[in-house]
Structure 1
Amino acid sequence: MSPFASMSHATIYIVLTVALFAIIGTRKNPLSIAGSFVQEIFTSRKYLFHFVALLTILFFNKLEMTFEKKMHYRADFTKSIYSIEGNFVANIQHFFHNDILTYICSYFYVVVFPAVMIGSIAIYTYKKNYKLFYAVVYALMFNYMIAIPFYLFFPVNEVWSFHPNVKLLILDAFPTFEQDYRPLSGLDNCFPSLHTSISISMAVIAVRSKNTFWKIFVPATAAFIIFTIFYLGIHWLSDMCAGVILGVVASRMGLRLAEGRLILGEKALLKRMNNNEL
C-alpha cells in the first residue's frame, strides 16, 4: 500500500508533522500553540495584516497557472537546460535508487516542506519572536514574487518529463501525485526551484532564532530537500542553483525588512543625497 493514497492523507500527515515539530520545538501542547496563533489573529492588526498578505501572495501563485494557460507565449527552455546539464539528475537517481529512500524523500517533499513553513510560523508566534515571524512572511512573499515571472516567461519542464532516463519516483509513494498535487505546481514551473528557495529561506531565518532544535533541524531539512528534488527526478541543477540564490536573497531581505534596517537604510541614503545637494 502506498503511503500517500490521496492528498487528504498527505494533509493529515502534514498536520501531524506540524504538531510534532511544535511539541519538540516548544515542549508545549500543540493546542496551546494553535491558541496563541488564534489570539494574535484577533488581537494584533499588524499580525493579521501580515498573515492576510501571505495568503494573498499564495493565492496569486495559484492564479499564475490559470493566467499562464491563457497566454500566447509558448517558449520552452528545457532543451537548453538539458544540453548544459546532461545526465546529472539521472546519475543521482540511478546511484541512490532505493524503495525506502523513495518513501522518505517523498515524505520530505510533500509533507516536511510545508510543515517547516507552518511550524516556523507557529513556533515564532508562540515564542513571541515577531521579527522572525515577519521575516518568514516577507521571505515567502519575495520568493513567490520573484519566481512567478520566471514561471511565466522562462518555462522549464521538470526533468522526468523530458529526460528519457529519469523517472518521477514520487509516483511510487504517491500514485495520485499528478492528479492531486499537480494543481499546486505547474509542470513547467521549474526554474527557480521553490522547494529549494523556500527551504533555504526558512533555514537562514531559523539560524537567527534561539531555538536550538529549530536552528539545527531546519537547515538540515533544507539540505535533504535539495537532495530530494534531484532524487525524485523533478528539478534540474540550474533550478537548484537559482533557488539557493533566491532563498538567500529573499531571507536576507525579509530579515532586513522585519528588523527595520531596510527602511532606515533608505532614510540614510536620502539624507546623504540631500546633504550632497546642499
Structure 2
Amino acid sequence: MQKDLNLRRKGTEPNNKLHFISNFLPYAFAAILVFGLMLLQLDIEHLLKLNPTLNYASFMVMIEGGAVTHLQAFASPLLTYISAFVYLIGFTGLLIGTFLIFAYKKDEKSLQEFSIAFTLIYLIAYPFYILFPVDVTSKTLPNMAPLLYTLDPSIVHFVRICDPTLDNCFPSLHAALSLMAMLLIISRAENIGYKAVAVAITIAIQFTILYLGIHWITDMIGGIMLAVTSYYIATRYRENILGWSERINCKDEQEIRKNEKESKGRISQ
C-alpha cells in the first residue's frame, strides 16, 4: 500500500507544480512587463530619436482651458496631506488589496481577469506616454500649484520611477487602474464592506489626481474609458486569452484523476 501511495505522489506532484505555474504565469508576466517598461521608457524614447521637447499639453489647454484649477480653490494643508495619502497609499492599497482578496478566496478566475486588465491598461497607455507626452497641469497652468511635488523630495523621486519626466498624463493610470479594480471588486467580491471601500477610494483618487496638480480632466476621462474597455475585454474574453493555460490545467486535472483511479485500483487489488 505504501508503494502505491508513493507512486500516486510521484504521479501527481509534477502535475500540481505545472498547474501552479500555469495559473500564476499571467501575474508574473504582468508584473515583469510593467516594471520593465517603466524602467526602459527613457531608453525607448532615445532609441526612437524622439524630440525631447515634444509635448501636447497645449492641446489640453485648447480642450479644457484651466477648468481644473478651480479644484484648488478649496486647497488647505490638511486636504493636501489627505489627498497625497490617497494618491500614493490608497491607490497602491486598492490594487494590492484587490489581488489579495481574490488570492485569499482562491478565486483564480478573478485573479486572471485582474492580471489581464492590468496588463492591457498599461500596454494601451504606454504608447501614448512615449509618442504623445503631456505635462502635468502644475507644470503647464500658471494658476495650478504642484501640491504633491512640494510636499517632500522623496515623493518626486518615487513618482519619477513611473513618470521620469512628469509628462505621462494621458490617459491617467491612477484613474484607469483604480476604476478597473473597483469594477472587479463590485462584480466579483461578495463582501459589501470590500465594495464600499473600493468605491470610496476610487472616487477619492479621481479627485486627488486633479486637485494635486497632476492630471487634466481629459486624462481622467481617458483613464475611465480605458478601465471600462480593459475590464470588458478581461471579463468577456478571459478564456480566449488564457486558452493555452486552461487547456494545460484541464489536461493536468485529467491526468491527476487518471493516476488516482489507477492508485485506487492497485490498492483494492
Normalised to the residue count of structure 1, the TM-score between the two structures is: 0.74
SS of alignment partner, residue 44 of structure 1: helix
Alignment root-mean-square deviation, CA: 2.2
SS at match of 2:50: coil
| 2:31 aligned partner, one-letter code | L
In structure 1, how many angstroms separate the alpha carbons of the residues matched to 2:155 and 2:146?
Answer: 10
- 5+ unaligned residues in a row in structure 1: which ranges? 1-39, 265-278
Q: Which residue of 2 aligns with 1:241?
A: 221
The CA distance in 1 between the partners of 2:109 and 2:33, in whole Å, is: 20
Identify which range, 168-177 or 235-244, moves more after superposition: 168-177
Higher relative contact order (CA 8 A, sep 6+): 2
Q: Which has the larger radius of gyration?
A: 2
TM-score by length of 2: 0.77
What runs of 5+ residues in structure 2 fail to find an aligned partner?
1-15, 244-269
| Match for residue 116 of structure 1 among 66, 72, 94 | 94
2:65 maps to which of 82, 86, 91? 86
Percent identity (aligned): 30
Tell me: CA distance 1:133–1:156, structure 2 relative to 1, closer, same or farther (3 Å).
Answer: same
* Equivalent position SS for 1:100: helix
- 1:203, distance to aligned residue in structure 2 (A): 0.9
Q: Does 1:134 align with 2:112?
A: yes
Counterpart in the other structure of 1:67? 44
> Structure 1 CA distance, aligned partners of 2:197 and 2:18?
31
**Cα deviation digits, residues 107-151 of structure 1 (max 9, x gap):** 011111111111111110111111111111011000001000111
User: Are residues 132 and 233 of structure 1, via their aligned partners in 2, closer, same or farther at CA, if it must alter by over 3 Å?
Assistant: same
Q: How many residues are treated as equivalent by the alignment?
A: 223
Runs of 4+ in structure 1 displaced over 6 angstroms?
A: 40-43, 261-264
- Tell me, in whole angstroms, the C-alpha distance in 1 between the residues paired with 2:69 and 2:192: 36
Q: How does 1:89-238 map to 2 (within 5 A)?
A: 89-93=68-72, 95-186=73-164, 187-208=166-187, 209-238=189-218
Letter in 2 for 1:89: V
**Structure 2 SS opposite 1:155:** coil
Q: Which residue of 2 aligns with 1:252?
A: 232
Give the distance between the partners of 1:139 and 1:41, measured in 2 at CA: 26
**What's the offset of the Cα at 1:191?**
0.5
Alpha-carbon distance, 1:84 to partner: 2.1
Are the counterparts in 2 of residues 57 and 144 from structure 1 also a CA contact under 8 Å? no
